Structure 1
Amino acid sequence: MDEKVEVKQQLEQLKKEIHLLSVSLKQLSEQKESKYKEKDGLNQDLNNYIKTAKELRDKKKEIDTKIRDLKGKRQVFNKGLSEMWGKFREIKANVVPKDKSKGSPSLIQKQIEKIEFTIQTEALSFEREKKMMRQLKELKAQLGEMKLEDAKFKELRDFKDDVKEKKVEADDIHIEIQKLATESTDIFKKLTEKSELIAKAKETREKINVDLQGLKAQISEIDVRLEKFLQQWGALTSLPVFTEQEMIPAVQKKAEAAMEKLKSKGKLTKEDILAMQGQNMKRR
């Protein structure tokens, strides 16, 4: 077979191989770019998840601190209430139930005033005055006892009111603790959801990294093969079996196209660079 024909056949086969590899390289590069975009978006989501999770943890920590402080305050209130209820029972035990048959203090006071008026305005016999003085003394003693018992009842009522007031405060603290505990639980649920999203995002990112490593390996392998074929192309086109005019479509055209791409600040491919190198080799 004529050497020129054989070289042309080899070049044609190399051309097909180079084209197929170039197509594969372009597809892999697009896949790699797509994976990087997916990774960038995932990293942005992951940063947002982590930021939100930190805010939730800080908020939960703040609420849990409030709950702990309120529980301590409630414990002090409950201890105080227990002591107050004990004192209340002591006061109640010393209060004698009122004897309604003795009448009310106001009624006793009226009787005293009536007797005093009688003694002062009427001419009484010695015996009757003595009797009324005795009654007056007894009524005043009875009134004094009633006033003392009333004071005890008032003390009991006032103390009971204080106990109720303290209990209301303790109940308010308990309600606040329950409210904060519910809020803390809700935050914990949200934090758990964010933690799951973070774990899932990291897992997906790891898979993307594995995919990128695979794509880079494939691209590197194709680069090596493409460079080998292009070097073979350059070597064949450098053979003296071709005239300069015959080589223009095969080498110079590719080199000129690559140069135009470079001038227009386009991105050169491996094939473009090797074509330019092949043209330089031909000139030498």
Structure 2
Amino acid sequence: MLDELIEKRKKALSESEQHKNRRNELNALASSHAKERNKLNGQTREFVEEAQKNKELRDKYNTEVKELKVQRNELNAQANEYFGEIESFKKEHSSFKRNSSVKELQRQIESMEFRQQTEVFSTDKERELIDKIKQMKAAIKEQEDELEQNKDLKTKLQSARDLRKEASDIHDRVTEVAELAQNHHDQMVEFYRKADQSRESADAEHKAFVEAQESADEEHQAFIACQKELRDYDKVISGLHNKKKKSKVTKEQRQVRQEAERIFELFKGGEKLTTEDILLLQRSKLI
């Protein structure tokens, strides 16, 4: 029975070591997943912060675009008033009636410039559009040169040109700022995309961390159970050892007693005893 218990204890000890080693491996794996998860969460926060910065810049530039467009439109409206007066003059003088309205040409130019700014064209189409704008501007210049022969019209033309030039400069700034706004919008979208990707990866790492941690906890519980089983075996085996040892001592004592009684009988019969015989009789309390 004792040998059987010892074998069972060896098996329990082996299982205990296996559970402990597996627990340690899983804890290390869980720690690795947690470290990677934290790293990815940090990246996600950085990406979101960058996205927010670009969003703020995009909104800032979009606001500036709106304000610039208002200024541009106001200047164009003032210029159109002068051009309207000039058109009225042209209608009253037959020599100008054959020409297209400067105001109408300018309206077409603004429309085409707006299309150039907001629509996507092939290289050839965009070049064609730019050429048309140049032709119309040349036609306006030709008419204005003719109108400048009139002193009053020359003053109005100059005022209209100044306003149109200022509006054109603002339009260039509108295009520039609109491009900046679009660039920051694209960067914002890209950073949000990266944030989503790193967040998904962090979630996967967290899931792996939880699974590894739960498995480690299971292995730890199994290790604890094995440790309890080992303590139980130790108690039983120790008890059996003590019982066996006690039995052996009792047997030896009985043998010593029998030997002492034999020597004592010899002593009573007058036999001469050795020193060892006398010490044995004393330990047995026979003398």
Give TM-score, length-normalised by structure 1. Answer: 0.64
Partner in structure 1 of residue 43 of structure 2: 59
Partner in structure 2 of residue 167 of structure 1: 178
Q: Could you tell me whether the CA contact under 8 Å between 2:23 and 2:217 is conserved in 1?
A: no
Amino acid at match of 2:56: G
**Correspondent of 2:252 among 232, 240, 244:** 240
The question of 1:77 aligning with 2:89 is answered no
**Change in 2 beyond 3 A, CA 1:70/1:209:** same
How far, CA to CA, are the matches of 1:69 and 1:33 in structure 2? Answer: 54
**Change in 2 beyond 3 A, CA 1:108/1:54:** closer
1:41-190 correspondence to structure 2 within 5 Å: 41-96=25-80, 97=83, 100=99, 138-190=149-201
User: 1:101 Cα shift?
Assistant: 5.8
How far, CA to CA, are the matches of 1:215 and 1:143 in structure 2? Answer: 106
The question of 1:205 aligning with 2:216 is answered yes
The question of 1:29 aligning with 2:13 is answered yes
User: 1:25 Cα shift?
Assistant: 0.6
Partner in structure 2 of residue 9 of structure 1: none
**Change in 2 beyond 3 A, CA 1:178/1:152:** same
User: 1:141 Cα shift?
Assistant: 4.2
The question of 1:228 aligning with 2:239 is answered yes
How far, CA to CA, are the matches of 2:146 and 2:72 in structure 1? Answer: 34
User: 1:47 Cα shift?
Assistant: 1.4
**Change in 2 beyond 3 A, CA 1:28/1:159:** same
Query: Higher relative contact order at CA 8 Å, sep ≥6: structure 1 or structure 2?
Result: 2
Partner in structure 2 of residue 40 of structure 1: 24
**Change in 2 beyond 3 A, CA 1:226/1:177:** same
How far, CA to CA, are the matches of 1:225 and 1:235 in structure 2? Answer: 15
User: 1:152 Cα shift?
Assistant: 2.8
Identity value in percent? 13
**Change in 2 beyond 3 A, CA 1:24/1:169:** same
List per-residue Cα deviations over 1:92-122 (Å, max 9, x = no partner).
212235864698656876999xxxxxxxxxx
How far, CA to CA, are the matches of 2:143 and 2:77 in structure 1? Answer: 27
List per-residue Cα deviations over 1:11-67 (Å, max 9, x = no partner).
xxxxxx111111111101010111111011112111111111111121111122222
User: 1:235 Cα shift?
Assistant: 2.3
Partner in structure 1 of residue 262 of structure 2: none
User: 1:211 Cα shift?
Assistant: 0.8
List per-residue Cα deviations over 1:156-206 (Å, max 9, x = no partner).
222211101111100111100000000000111011111111111221121
How far, CA to CA, are the matches of 1:31 and 1:20 in structure 2? Answer: 17
How far, CA to CA, are the matches of 1:237 and 1:29 in structure 2? Answer: 29
Give TM-score, length-normalised by structure 2. Answer: 0.63
Q: Could you tell me whether the CA contact under 8 Å between 2:44 and 2:198 is conserved in 1?
A: yes
**Change in 2 beyond 3 A, CA 1:40/1:109:** closer
Q: What is the alpha-carbon root mean square deviation over aligned residues? A: 2.8
Structure 1 residue ranges (4+ consecutive) displaced by more than 4 angstroms after TM superposition = 101-112
The question of 1:19 aligning with 2:10 is answered no
**Change in 2 beyond 3 A, CA 1:242/1:30:** farther
User: 1:241 Cα shift?
Assistant: 9.0
Unaligned stretches of 5+ residues in structure 1: 1-16, 113-137, 244-284
How far, CA to CA, are the matches of 1:146 and 1:52 in structure 2? Answer: 70
**Change in 2 beyond 3 A, CA 1:159/1:213:** same
